[in-house]
Amino acid sequence: KYYGQTGERDELEIPEADVGIISGGIRNEKEKHVANEMRKKCGTLIALGSCACYGGIPALANMFPIEALYQKVYRDSKTTDSADTPTDNLPPLLDRVYAIDEVVDVDVRIPGCPTNPDLIVTALTGLLEGKPFELPERSVCDECPLKREKKASGGEIKRMLESVEFKQGVPWDHTRCFMEQGYLCLGPVTLAGCGSKEGNGNGVTVPRCIKGYMPCRGCFGPIRKGANPMVDMMGAISSIGLDAKQVEDRRALLNRYVGAHNRLRPLPARPKKGS
């Protein structure tokens, strides 16, 4: 094991601190060791970002056994020279990607990909003032200023190869809800908190993806602990007349940022026809 900026140390040395911040999930033994040492040395431990809170994009790998990942990355990839899996001076992989709170106790969670800087300031200021930091259990849709006509859109789910309908430079409530336009927006099942009051919103809070005229991707994770975004989203899709079966690779897309906590795991192999 090698530690330090240039691998000049053979032991992990973490000084005691009032506050420690970990970004990124836990995929290998070294990262697990670092998280445990951080927990021992820090009075308050913060999980920063979607990877730390929910596993993030890397946790999509939880859908596959480790050997299948090795095969895909090091042997079958057309852009990689076929070779044996490297092992020299590399920490062993864990069985899956873990969120920080699956390995150690976490005091503060600040999700987001990327995290809203205002939330970091609020959380750290709250620690100094002795105030707890908690995000309210409301959805992106609860904060979204787009106009909802509450009419079923029907038809096929649109891909983002074609732009949503919007008028730039006018108040946000002049643009129709992206879900009602037929796009897959994860706002109904995603925790609010990414938004800001910048742009042409006349002081209203605008979620970050919406501000870029894009549907919500779900990076802030589920609205409440124990919620299942995939199941809830299937209901939201059906409620406006869209067919959830049109969503390709539903497991991955609807759990894109939240694959830790056993939300994503390998499925048992299907029996072959005729067997």
What's the pLDDT tens digit per position in 149-184?
877 667 788 888 788 888 888 888 899 999 999 899
Find the range with the poorest average confidence among 51-65, 200-214, 237-251. 200-214
- pLDDT tens-digit readout, 119-139: 999 999 999 999 999 888 899
Distances (CA, A) of 232 to 120, 186, 273: 29, 10, 32
Per-residue confidence (pLDDT) for residue 242, from 0 to 100: 82
pTM (2 d.p.): 0.87
Provide the pLDDT confidence category of residue 90 given band limits of 50, 70 and 90.
confident
Provide the pLDDT confidence category of residue 52 given band limits of 50, 70 and 90.
very high
Q: Is the pLDDT of residue 201 over 50?
A: no
* Mean pLDDT computed over 100-118: 96
Domains identified in the chain and CATH numbers: 17-129 (3.40.50.700), 136-267 (no CATH)
